[in-house]
Amino acid sequence: MRTNVARGSLLGMLGQGWHLITVFALYAFLARRLGPAGFGQWRVVISVLVWFELFVNSGLIKVATKSITEIGADRRPRVVRASYLGQAGFALGAFAALELLAGPIAALLRQPALAPLLRISALDIPLYGAFMVASAVVLGEQRFERQAFAWIVYATAKAALIAGLVATGFSIQGALVGNAVSSLVGFVAVFRPWERRKEGGIDLVPLMGTMLVGTVPFLALSLSEGLGQSVDLWLVSAAVPSAVLVGLYASATVLAEVPTFLFQGLDRVLFPSIARAGAEHDRRLAGHYAGQGVRLALLVNLLLVAIVAATGKQALTLVYSKAYVGAYIPLVLLMVAAAGRTLRSVCSEVLMAEDRRRDALLVMLGTLAVEVVLLAVLIPRYGLPGAAAGVAASALAGGAISTGLLARQVGTRPLFTLLRSGAAALVVGVALAYLTPQAPEWLLVAYPLAAAGYVAVLGLLGEFGDDDIASLREAFGR
């Protein structure tokens, strides 16, 4: 099982890594093609769409993955069919809600022109919902290779379709249509036909009812978390009169999503793996997975914070253009916030897999409440830097509290990882700041060298143990 999980984690993050590369290439194209104001509109629309898609990307699919992981193969077909039927209900409901609420949402954001764009974006909800439930089934069966392959296909199709439609003159409307069609491509890549049975949909109602009740804590956590990830952009859009400034802040939010994006691959594997270990009453193995997840979050995020602090202006120029350099300070603060969010997200997956749903939800709701208060106070006074600072403060608090809730499972090792990775990140960040030329193209060489130097310093500090080496060998099938 450990070999399967290690390999699944690697494949999941590789799939997310490819998705990240394609998104960066796409956003670099869109930022130049649309300009800061148009790019800001695109990001606001997508952030609203992503929140509505949480109804098909969090509650039911989590329950489906957990149920398929824990039950025998003979009972899985019923759960699969019930999952598809329940997902159809969620998808149609979320689609109708966004279509109806597009006008009021655009008015609240003080951008009436967003209403038709929001309605077009809603086309993605039922298609993405089908993709997500098919992916959940594959994850529950622990077919990690197929799931990673599907995400690579989805990411490639998404970048190609959106860029192609925008390049041929369809602007944001075309980009939103391309986004929807790519979800259909992803569904085709991951879908596995299930075994046919004589029972009809009505026979699955009791099972669907049980599953829908189980979705409540998962959905509540995800909706709160999604609100926390987007509320700063929405408030900036509503409070800042300049469309260009909104676009600058939106560009910073994209780069700050890098760690969150990468760790979605880990989270997809971590949840069913800990659920399986718990079902087998193997507390030691569950604790091992939890500790490794927390340590990996610390190792990756501290490096990214150091890189952005040292070379953020060049990165903005490389990915977007010189017109976006004004987003540097918000970018640094938002990357710090991303570190806290990623840490809390990993811990939440562990807590939810262990059925400690109340703890995970309380931390999320508390973090969200603090974030909203800070944003309401800081945005009117300090603008974009104030918004980013409020997000960073609340996210770090949430990450620290979540890690504390897992102290018994993970032990003290993550604390030493924090100290070592902080020292290594400082060394790498200072080296980048003083040695990297101002030309942004050099970052393509500097970043791989920085990552290699970071790993080398961590090795000298004794961060990697025998279990880490064993996990890497297992991941690569050795």
Q: Are 265 and 318 in contact (CB under 8 A)?
A: no
435 to each of 199, 440, 445, 449, 456, how far by Cα in Å?
67, 13, 12, 12, 18
| Rounded percentage of the chain residues whose pLDDT exceeds 70 | 89
Backbone φ/ψ region at 142: left (φ over 0), alpha (ψ -120 to 50), beta: left
Mean of pLDDT values over 131-160: 86
Q: Identify the band that residue 292 occupies on the pLDDT scale cut at 50, 70 and 90.
A: confident
Q: Residue for token digits 């970071």?
A: 454
Q: What is the pTM of this model?
A: 0.79
Q: Give the pair of three-digit tokens for residue 141.
A: 């069966």
Side-chain-facing half-sphere of 429: CA atoms under 13 Å: 18
Q: What angle do CA 396, 401, 403 make, to 5 degrees?
A: 95
Least confident of 41-55, 204-218, 236-250: 204-218
Give the per-residue SS3 of 182-242. HHHHHHHHHCCCCCCCCCCHHHHHHHHHHHHHHHHHHHHHHHHHHHHHHHHHHHHHHHCCC
d(CA 224, CA 27): 26
Instruction: Inform me whether the pLDDT recorded for 4 exceeds 80.
Output: no
Helix spans in 58-193 (H): 59-70, 76-108, 114-121, 124-140, 144-165, 171-190
Indicate the domain borders of the chain: 2-475
d(CA 396, CA 267): 19
Output 376 or 204, whichever has higher pLDDT.
Answer: 376
Instruction: Inform me whether the pLDDT recorded for 270 exceeds 70.
Output: no
> Tell me, what's the pLDDT at 269?
61
> Tell me, what's the pLDDT at 3?
43
- What is the average pLDDT score of the chain? 85
> Tell me, what's the pLDDT at 235?
94
d(CA 165, CA 197): 42
Q: Identify the band that residue 151 occupies on the pLDDT scale cut at 50, 70 and 90.
A: confident
Instruction: Inform me whether the pLDDT recorded for 234 exceeds 90.
Output: yes
Least confident of 86-95, 195-204, 310-319, 407-416: 195-204
> Tell me, what's the pLDDT at 1?
44
Q: Residue for token digits 């979050």?
A: 297
Least confident of 18-32, 57-71, 437-451: 57-71
Q: Identify the band that residue 315 occupies on the pLDDT scale cut at 50, 70 and 90.
A: very high
> Tell me, what's the pLDDT at 2?
42
Instruction: Inform me whether the pLDDT recorded for 382 exceeds 80.
Output: yes
Least confident of 154-168, 359-373, 401-415: 401-415
Instruction: Inform me whether the pLDDT recorded for 279 exceeds 70.
Output: no
What one-character DSSP code corresponds to residue 74?
Answer: G
Alpha-carbon Rg for the chain, nearest whole angstrom, is 22
> 319-345: per-residue pLDDT in tens?
888 999 999 999 999 999 999 998 988
| Rounded percentage of the chain residues whose pLDDT exceeds 90 | 46
Neighbouring CB atoms inside 10 A of 407's CB total: 11
> Tell me, what's the pLDDT at 306?
95
d(CA 206, CA 209): 5
Q: Give the pair of three-digit tokens for residue 282.
A: 């193997």
> Tell me, what's the pLDDT at 157?
95
> Tell me, what's the pLDDT at 265?
59
> Tell me, what's the pLDDT at 392?
96
Q: Given CA atoms 193, 197, 199, 204 in this order, what sign does their dihedral have?
A: negative
> 392-433: per-residue pLDDT in tens?
999 999 999 999 998 888 888 889 999 999 999 999 999 999
> Tell me, what's the pLDDT at 317?
92
Q: State CA 154 to chain mean position distance.
A: 15
